[in-house]
Amino acid sequence: MKISAIIAEYNPMHKGHILHINKTRELTNCDGIIGVISGNFVQRGQPSIIDKWTRAELAVLNGIDLVIELPSVYSISSAEFFSYGAISLLNNINVVDSLCFGSECGNLEPIYYIANTLQNPSYEYLDLLRKYIASGLPYFTARSKALFEISQNNIDINLTNSLESILSSSNNILGIEYCKSLIKLNSSIKAFTIKRQGDDYNCQYINSEFPSATAIRKLIENDYDLNSIKNLLPDSVYEKIISLYKNNYDFAFSKDMFKFLRYKCLTNNNNIDKIPDANEGLHNKIYKSIINSTDFEDLMSNIKSKRYSYTRLSRILCQYFIGFDNYDTEILRKASCPYARILAFNKKGLEILKLIKKNSYIPLYSKLPKSKDMNSCLELDILSTKAYSILNKSINPLADYLNSPVIL
């Protein structure tokens, strides 16, 4: 069986995702697709608007055959660790032939070239990087200039007009990190990319038939008339969202974390510095700001700067809210993914599961085991669901023990 994989969040699923799934089948000529999705908190450092089991169900209803959860220690991390966690998971289950990801440039060649240069840097590249950093340039600017100069000496590739846009676009950056991880792991998984269609990943408004998930979340958060986006969502997703509304489902948003963050910060001796990315005195800035902030957006505007991006700060706060401060996440996220958590599957997905059980290097879980010697990554997943249940009261705090995979 020829199996392809997609790494996604589906927060929520929209028609751009359906296009991606269909193109993946077309490009890779696969027999089945595995979707690796973030759990109840996502890479931007936000709670998922809808819980992971419902999102997994919708993914299977719309073309994915088997959904596996990306552990929280990776899913709420930078692009580098998010990608490494997902690729190492796919590599470890040992049945995946290809990976297809969306990118703004839609061309694998420059993405793979940049990934290889960064993962296996030449002396020439490192010398150029050091030179530009020594001149006072910020790291990412220095990196871009070094990459550009190196590419000028390569007759097989020309990045003259595309390097800056490639390195400044969200999906391109993730694509580079996916390819870096494939190279790092010496993986046999073959990479494919398709050009992202429609609105930009970060766009907060609907400007095309393929709106961003960001814009859709904004409409739901603001209780906008969802009839206006009915034609922009897959039917099953629209119907599920309407059904959840009618049943008073507790959609989760970042703003809901604020009072809990404030309480934890003020009663735990300002221990935010235990979060790996909250270094260089950033924890003090967060602590001072949280005292004087009235809500989540107020807090973010008080601490955001050119040095600290909104997404990086969101991840720090999200990790702190969940309880990452009690774990050595620096070590955990650098290690290969230690298990595969099954969230949903269909008949084809069951066939894939049987293959995984025969070939996988890591254990598969449906419900989580009740063990005193539980893996720290699993403990963090359980903590994540408990934390999520505070924001989304529709979810049982012990759902990881109680919920079986969705079978369609």
pLDDT tens-digit series, residues 311-353: 999 999 999 999 999 999 999 999 999 999 999 999 999 999 9
Q: Does 209 have pLDDT greater than 70?
A: no
Q: Is 340:355 a contact under the CB 8 Å cutoff?
A: no
Band of pLDDT at residue 150, cut at 50, 70 and 90: confident
Domain with residue 86: its CATH number is 3.40.50.620
56 is an annotated ligand-binding site residue:
no
**SS3 label, residue 213:** helix
Domain shared by 18 and 78, yes or no: yes
Tell me which amino acid residue 259 is: K
Out of 332, 366, 387, pick the residue that ends a domain. 332
In this structure, the dihedral spanned by the alpha carbons of residues 374, 375, 377 and 380, taken in order and rounded to 10 degrees, is 20
1 is an annotated ligand-binding site residue:
no
Average pLDDT rounded to a whole number, residues 359-375: 85
| Angle at 91 (CA atoms; ends 351, 362), nearest 5 degrees | 70
Q: Is 87:115 a contact under the CB 8 Å cutoff?
A: no
Q: Is 390:260 a contact under the CB 8 Å cutoff?
A: yes
372 is an annotated ligand-binding site residue:
no
Band of pLDDT at residue 161, cut at 50, 70 and 90: low
| Domain encompassing residue 266 | 255-332
16 is an annotated ligand-binding site residue:
yes
11 is an annotated ligand-binding site residue:
yes
Q: Which residue has the higher pLDDT, 190 or 149?
A: 190
Percent of residues, the chain, with pLDDT higher than 90: 74
283 is an annotated ligand-binding site residue:
no
Q: Does 173 have pLDDT greater than 90?
A: yes
Number of Cα atoms under 13 Å in the Cβ half of residue 88: 21
229 is an annotated ligand-binding site residue:
no
| pLDDT score at 208 | 57
- Sign of the dihedral through C-alpha 15, 18, 24, 25: negative
Domain shared by 353 and 216, yes or no: yes
Q: Does 200 have pLDDT greater than 70?
A: no
| pLDDT score at 271 | 87
Domain shared by 323 and 347, yes or no: no
pTM: 0.94
Out of 286, 303, 332, pick the residue that ends a domain. 332
Tokens of 214: 């960001």
Domain shared by 317 and 351, yes or no: no
19 is an annotated ligand-binding site residue:
yes
Nearest to 265 by CA among 218, 316, 320: 320
10 is an annotated ligand-binding site residue:
yes
| pLDDT score at 228 | 74
279 is an annotated ligand-binding site residue:
no
Domain shared by 93 and 202, yes or no: yes
Domain shared by 219 and 317, yes or no: no
Task: Return mean pLDDT, the chain.
Answer: 91
9 is an annotated ligand-binding site residue:
yes
Percent of residues, the chain, with pLDDT higher than 70: 94
Band of pLDDT at residue 158, cut at 50, 70 and 90: low
Q: Does 281 have pLDDT greater than 60?
A: yes
Q: Does 244 have pLDDT greater than 90?
A: yes
| pLDDT score at 94 | 99
Q: Does 246 have pLDDT greater than 70?
A: yes
pLDDT tens, residue by residue, 184-194: 999 999 999 99
Domain shared by 94 and 131, yes or no: no
Q: Does 257 have pLDDT greater than 80?
A: yes
Average pLDDT rounded to a whole number, residues 239-247: 93
Per the structure, the count of domains in the chain is: 3
| pLDDT score at 399 | 96
Q: Which residue has the higher pLDDT, 164 or 217?
A: 217
Q: Does 407 have pLDDT greater than 60?
A: yes
7 is an annotated ligand-binding site residue:
yes
102 is an annotated ligand-binding site residue:
yes
Domain shared by 32 and 62, yes or no: yes
Q: Does 124 have pLDDT greater than 80?
A: yes
Band of pLDDT at residue 61, cut at 50, 70 and 90: very high
Average pLDDT rounded to a whole number, residues 290-312: 90
Domain shared by 59 and 149, yes or no: no
Out of 332, 363, 395, pick the residue that ends a domain. 332
Cβ-in-10-Å burial (0-12, 13-18, 19+) of 135 comes to: exposed
- Could you list the beta-strand ranges (E) of 319-386: 340-345, 364-365
Domain shared by 372 and 390, yes or no: yes
Domain shared by 375 and 319, yes or no: no
307 is an annotated ligand-binding site residue:
no
Domain shared by 260 and 326, yes or no: yes
Average pLDDT rounded to a whole number, residues 144-173: 80
Least confident of 153-157, 162-166, 188-192: 153-157
Q: Which residue has the higher pLDDT, 219 or 244?
A: 244
| pLDDT score at 202 | 57
